[in-house]
Structures are given as C-alpha cells and as structure tokens.
C-alpha cells in the first residue's frame, strides 16, 4: 500500500490518480547505477597515474600539448553539465528506451570482462603517457593524446554496453550526438574564455574596481581608516586598523559573474515558455552589476568583522559562507522578479497563485530543508570554523516542520523492517567507505567542544544528536524523496506515487542528496538506498526510518568504537 497523496489523511490504498512505474524495469535500472559507481572508482584509480607536473616549465610544443591534458576534467565536467541542462528531456527519454533493451546475462558478463580489459589498457596507457613518454616531436605527442582520448571514451562506452544492447546504444548515441557536440562546444568555449581572461589579464581592472569599491564602502563607516595598496603578483591589500587582507583574482568578482550568468542561462532555458523574450535579457546586465556590487559589500564586511569582531570569524566562517549567501539570495531574487513582473512573465506569479489561500505544496516539502540550509549559512558565516550556533539549525527545521505538519500527508509511525534493513545497509556502506579511507574525518568539532564549558558542550552535543537522528532524516527525505524524486517524474508531483519514481529520477535525486554532503560518494549511495526504501512499499515513511536508522547506528558505532567525534 502506498502512502496517501492527499494532505492531512492516510489512505489505505493508492488513489486513482497516483501514477505507478513498472516494477519489472527496476532490476535492470540498478545495473547502470552500479556501473556508474564503478566508473567513479575507476576515475579515482586513474587519477593516481595522471600526473602532468613533469611537463611544467618544458617549452617544447609536444610537452605543452600534454600539459594541456590536465584541463580535460574541467572541460568534461562543463560539457556534462551543459548536456544535462540543454538535453535532459532527451536523455531521460533515451534512457527509458534503453532500459527496455537490456542484453542477456551472458552478453552482459562478456561485455563486463571486455570493460575490465579496456580499463586495464587505459590505465597502463595513462601511466606510460604521463610518466615515461618522451616523443621526438609534436606529431607523435598528438597521436598519443588522441589515442588517450579515445581510450577515455572507450572505458564508459564498454561499461554502458554491459547494461544496454550495443545496437540500441549506438542508435541512441547517434540521436544524442548533436546535443552532445553543442554541449561540448559550450564547455570548450567556457574553458577557452576563462583561459583568455587569465592570459590577457582582463580580470585585473575588475579586481582593482572591486578593491576600491570595498574600501570606499568601509570608509563610509565612522571610525574606520582604510588603505588600499597594490601587491605585485597577488592583487590588492585592504587594511583597516590592525587587520588586512589581500584581494586576489579569485575575489575579483569574475567567478561570481560566471556563476550568475550560468544560472541565468539555466533559468532562461528551464522557464523559456513562461518568460517574455527579449525583455528577460535585461536581467543579465542587472544581475551582473548586482553580483559585482554585492561582492564588494562582502569584502567590506569581511574586513570590518576582522577588525572589530574576530579575525578568525572573518577568515574562516564569513569568508567561506558569505559568497554563497550572496549568490543564493541574488539567484532567488532574480527568479522572484522574473516570475512576478508582468513585463517579464507571461503569467505573473500572482495570477497563478493557489486558490483559497492554500499553501504551495512545494513549499511544504522544501520549506523545512531550506530553513535548515539558510540557517546553516547564517550561523556558519559568523563561526570560526566550528559552528557553535548549530542548535539554531535544529530549532529552525523543527519550527517549519511544525508549521507544515497540518498540510503534509501524515507518515505512518511504524518502524517497518523495510526501512530498518535499508538503513542498516546504508550504515554498512558508509562505514566501509570511511574505513577504506574514501571518507576522511576531521577532529575540529571535538577540539572546539573541549574548549567549551561542560554544560555548553553537553547542550551542543544533545542538539547535534537531535538534529542528526530526528530533524535531518525528516527534512532531507521530504525534500529529496518527497519532492525532488517525484518532481522529476511530473510537474504535479503530488500525483506521483512513490512506486512511480523512475530510475532516472531516483538516480538524479540520489546524486543531488550526495552532493549536499561532504562525503558525496557515500552520500549518493546512501541516498540511493533511502530511495529504494521508499519505492519498496511506496511509503516515504520507510525512507525516513531508513535514514534515521543509518544515523542512529553511526552515532552508536562512533560513540562506542570511535572516533567518538565521527558523527559531529
């Protein structure tokens, strides 16, 4: 039986409008996910053999060519991001078609053996190319580079053939090839523009203007004496009293402008049917100017905090979080303006508001998570590396959960074996990755707690345990399984049953869940297990129980076996 989609009640059986996804396709869907995890592991192994440092300072053309290969990863990541952005519907459609063409078990085993051979060859070729290769000229270097790139393509291609029929895979690839080349062009262009900006020093005028604007803003504050000096080869120093910082290229505002442009392109493509063009293009110069000004305000605030509050808070907490707070706030403001002004939106937000003053269902599922996230940004910005104000996150999440409780579907209060079993599996997986050294742990929180008064330290640990075991499972499962996984299936996500979540939506929501965590590999795999828990019986409550079980076991294990600070 699936949990009800209707609010404020539990239905024993699925409503007629709840969509279901054929369960028979799920075993085949798990294989690509496992192969993707294998590819991530292989990438980590290859990186150990991928060293271009020996070509640094070598003026020979072929050496410079091989040195450029270190940028293959950034270009690849940009290409994949652009491809997912411009062709995600096509990718989802092709994936759904390929899932119905799985080869026989014997063929899968044969292709898997071939994949291992291809990877072994690529691993050996990578080591030879970047460790011992000494060509006589640029043509041999170009040939070796082309062969290396072909090997890099052959590794994932042979892995894909394990899960999908090769002929269908080739046909699908041919249909997706135009969008891939477009995405590759976007990634390569973005990389080339970045190199041009760095090589020609086009960021220097922006850096100078940013430093001077930050100093001018500081000078407006009473009792603040500011000095700006050029630091050759580094940037500009801003000094206020006894505190000073060097504003380097990374703080010039170039990265902020690039981020907001990327966001605006994504926003324009995603909402192209609801926005008015070309009027919407006015958001580009306005957002560019705002992100530059806000970056200068951030630098001015950083210097003021360092001089009048704490240098540690300024350099560790505020410096790490303020930029993301500014970007997120500006991005949300752009979306609000774009959806609210009749001049920009075809149907302004007020015209499509829910009838009868009801709450937007997306806000109910995302509200608790966003409250915790926003509070973590705010408390992290005023911390010195250790978030002593963590209890505010718990209180913010609990408050919004209480607000949304009356409108959300009631989750069955039963610790069913499904959730517990999946939670135990996620615990074993997480612990195994940590023991293998994939998920390192820091003792910063334990050191900071030792410096607090015993009562304060005990109160902090109590709130941390409450947040880790109760609040986090609730708010994260509502956001990632309750909203995102179903929203990727249909716009009307409340009409999508948990058994109707497609493999594509399950995998993408699991990846998003993993990226939220510092240990993203373990987070992604654990999120996948939590998603399967919800799918097993069609109940979000099982995912919440699984998540809580994992966290409880981690607390118990680290508290008894150690290190005790592992869950902090």
Question: What residues contact 540, with CB distance under 8 A and at least 6 apart?
Answer: 3, 409, 411, 477, 478, 481, 482, 498, 534
pLDDT digits (tens, 9 = 90+) for 490-506: 878 888 888 888 877 88
Query: Is 13 domain-assigned?
Result: no
Per-range mean pLDDT, top range of 66-80, 264-278, 488-502 = 488-502
Q: What's the confidence (pLDDT) of residue 14?
A: 37
- Other CB atoms within a 10 A radius of the CB of residue 96 amount to 15
DSSP conformational letter for 491:
S
Q: What's the confidence (pLDDT) of residue 444?
A: 65
Give bridge partners of residue 244 from the DSSP assignment. Answer: 239
The domain boundary, picked from 303, 324, 352, lies at 352
What gap in Å lies between CA 311 and CA 297, rounded to an integer?
A: 17
471 and 338 both lie in a single domain: no
95 and 230 both lie in a single domain: no
Give bridge partners of residue 345 from the DSSP assignment. Answer: 275
Query: Is 169 domain-assigned?
Result: yes
Instruction: Report whether 218 contacts 226 (CB < 8 A).
Output: yes
Please state the φ and ψ torsions of residue 228, each to the nearest 5 degrees: -120, 125
393 and 489 both lie in a single domain: yes
More confident residue, 17 or 361: 361
426 and 531 both lie in a single domain: yes
Q: What's the confidence (pLDDT) of residue 470?
A: 92
Please state the φ and ψ torsions of residue 411, each to the nearest 5 degrees: -90, 135
Q: DSSP string of 103-153?
A: PPHHHHHHHHHHHHHHHHHHHHHHHHHHHT---SSHHHHHHHHHHHHHHHH
531 and 485 both lie in a single domain: yes
371 and 482 both lie in a single domain: yes
Query: Is 85 domain-assigned?
Result: yes
More confident residue, 133 or 146: 146
- Other CB atoms within a 10 A radius of the CB of residue 429 amount to 17
Per-range mean pLDDT, top range of 137-146, 220-229, 533-542 = 533-542
- Name the least confident of 222-231, 314-323, 524-533, 557-566: 557-566
Query: Is 334 domain-assigned?
Result: yes
pLDDT digits (tens, 9 = 90+) for 415-429: 568 889 999 999 988
Question: What residues contact 397, with CB distance under 8 A and at least 6 apart?
Answer: 368, 369, 371, 372, 375, 467, 471, 474, 475
210 and 183 both lie in a single domain: no
More confident residue, 77 or 305: 305
Cα 402 to chain centroid distance, Å, stands at 28
DSSP conformational letter for 333:
H
Instruction: Say whether pLDDT at 545 is over 80.
Output: yes
Cα 204 to chain centroid distance, Å, stands at 30
146 and 176 both lie in a single domain: yes
Among residues 311, 439, 316, the alpha carbon closest in space to that of 387 is found at 316
Q: What's the confidence (pLDDT) of residue 235?
A: 82
227 and 150 both lie in a single domain: no
- Name the least confident of 165-169, 391-395, 400-404, 514-518: 514-518
What gap in Å lies between CA 388 and CA 498, rounded to an integer?
A: 38
The domain boundary, picked from 161, 195, 229, lies at 195
102 and 221 both lie in a single domain: no
What gap in Å lies between CA 143 and CA 129, rounded to an integer?
A: 11
Among residues 273, 256, 272, the alpha carbon closest in space to that of 203 is found at 256
- Name the least confident of 194-203, 360-369, 424-433, 518-527: 194-203
Instruction: Report whether 396 contacts 371 (CB < 8 A).
Output: yes
Q: How confident is the model at residue 437 (pLDDT cuts 50, 70, 90)?
A: low
Q: What's the confidence (pLDDT) of residue 127?
A: 81
151 and 252 both lie in a single domain: no
Angle at 141 between CA 136 and CA 143, to 5 degrees: 120
Query: Is 20 domain-assigned?
Result: no
The domain boundary, picked from 153, 170, 195, lies at 195
Instruction: Say whether pLDDT at 430 is over 50.
Output: yes
More confident residue, 530 or 225: 530
| HSE-CB of 365 using CA atoms within 13 angstroms | 20
Query: Is 235 domain-assigned?
Result: yes
Please state the φ and ψ torsions of residue 190, each to the nearest 5 degrees: -60, -40
What gap in Å lies between CA 111 and CA 128, rounded to an integer?
A: 26
Among residues 215, 277, 220, the alpha carbon closest in space to that of 240 is found at 215
405 and 521 both lie in a single domain: yes
Among residues 46, 43, 65, 45, the alpha carbon closest in space to that of 55 is found at 65
Q: What's the confidence (pLDDT) of residue 1?
A: 42
Region for residue 8 given its phi and psi (left: phi exceeds 0; alpha: psi -120 to 50; beta: otherwise): left
Query: Is 82 domain-assigned?
Result: yes
Angle between helices 520-537 and 540-560 (to 10 degrees): 140
Domain interval for residue 45:
28-195
Spell out a b/e string for 270-306, using b for 16 or more CB atoms within 10 Å of the CB, else e.
eeeebbeeeebeebeeebbebbbebbbebbbbbbbbb
Q: Which tokens sit at 378?
A: 């705010």
Question: What residues contact 563, with CB distance under 8 A and at least 6 apart?
Answer: 441, 443, 446
More confident residue, 351 or 308: 308
Instruction: Say whether pLDDT at 12 is over 50.
Output: no
The alpha carbon torsion through 452, 455, 457, 463 (nearest 10 deg) reads -150
What gap in Å lies between CA 72 and CA 182, rounded to an integer?
A: 17
The tally of domains found in the chain comes to 3
Query: Is 9 domain-assigned?
Result: no
The alpha carbon torsion through 380, 383, 386, 389 (nearest 10 deg) reads -70
More confident residue, 40 or 173: 173
């Amino acid at each position: 039986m699936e949990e009800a989609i209707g609010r404020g009640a539990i239905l024993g059986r699925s409503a007629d409008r709840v969509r279901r996804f054929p369960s028979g396709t799920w075993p085949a869907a798990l294989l690509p996910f496992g192969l993707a995890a294998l590819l991530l592991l292989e990438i980590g192994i290859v990186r150990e053999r991928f060293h271009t440092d020996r070509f640094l300072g070598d003026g020979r053309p072929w050496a410079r060519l091989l040195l450029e290969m270190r940028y293959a990863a950034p270009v690849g990541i940009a290409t994949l991001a652009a491809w997912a952005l411009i062709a995600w519907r096509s990718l989802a459609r092709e994936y759904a078609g390929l899932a119905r063409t799985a080869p026989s078990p014997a063929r899968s085993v044969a292709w898997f053996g071939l994949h291992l051979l291809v990877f072994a060859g690529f691993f050996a070729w990578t080591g030879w190319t970047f460790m011992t290769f000494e060509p006589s000229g640029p043509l041999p270097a170009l040939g070796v580079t082309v062969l290396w790139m072909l090997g890099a393509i052959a590794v994932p291609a042979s892995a894909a053939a394990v899960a999908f029929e090769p002929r269908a895979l080739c046909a699908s690839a041919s249909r997706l090839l135009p969008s891939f080349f477009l995405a590759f062009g976007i990634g390569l262009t973005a990389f080339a523009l970045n190199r041009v900006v760095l090589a020609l020093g086009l960021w220097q005028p922006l850096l100078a203007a940013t430093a001077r604007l930050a100093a001018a803003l500081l000078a407006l504050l009473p009792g603040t004496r500011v000095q700006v000096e050029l630091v050759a080869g580094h940037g500009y120093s801003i000094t206020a009293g006894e505190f000073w910082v060097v504003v380097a290229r990374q703080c010039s505002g170039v990265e902020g402008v690039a981020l907001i442009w990327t966001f605006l392109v994504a926003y324009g493509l995603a909402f192209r049917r609801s926005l008015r063009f070309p009027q919407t293009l006015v958001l580009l110069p306005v957002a560019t100017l705002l992100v530059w000004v806000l970056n200068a305000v951030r630098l001015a605030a950083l210097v003021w905090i360092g001089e009048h509050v704490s240098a540690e808070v300024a350099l560790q907490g505020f410096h790490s979080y303020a930029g993301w707070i500014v970007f997120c706030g500006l991005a949300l403001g752009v979306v609000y303006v774009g959806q609210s002004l009749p001049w920009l939106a075809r149907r302004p937000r007020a015209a499509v508001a829910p009838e009868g003053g009801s709450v937007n269902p997306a806000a109910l599922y995302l509200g608790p998570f966003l409250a915790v996230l926003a509070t973590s940004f705010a408390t992290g910005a005023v911390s010195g590396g250790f978030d002593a104000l963590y209890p505010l996150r718990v209180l913010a999440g609990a408050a919004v959960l209480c607000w949304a409780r009356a409108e959300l579907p009631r989750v069955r209060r039963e610790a069913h074996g499904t959730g517990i079993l999946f939670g135990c599996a996620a615990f074993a997986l997480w612990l195994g990755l940590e023991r293998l050294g994939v998920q390192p742990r820091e003792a910063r929180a334990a050191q900071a707690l030792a410096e607090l008064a015993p009562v304060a330290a005990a109160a902090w640990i109590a709130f941390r345990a409450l947040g880790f075991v109760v609040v986090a499972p609730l708010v994260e499962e509502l956001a990632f399984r309750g909203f995102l996984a179903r929203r990727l299936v249909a716009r009307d996500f409340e009409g999508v049953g948990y058994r109707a979540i497609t493999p594509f939506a399950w995998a993408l929501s699991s990846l998003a869940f993993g990226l939220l965590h510092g240990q993203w590999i373990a987070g992604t795999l654990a999120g996948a297990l939590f998603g399967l828990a919800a799918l097993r019986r069609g109940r979000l409550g099982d995912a919440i129980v699984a998540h809580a079980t994992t966290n409880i076991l981690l607390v118990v294990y680290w508290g008894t076996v150690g290190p005790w600070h592992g869950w902090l």
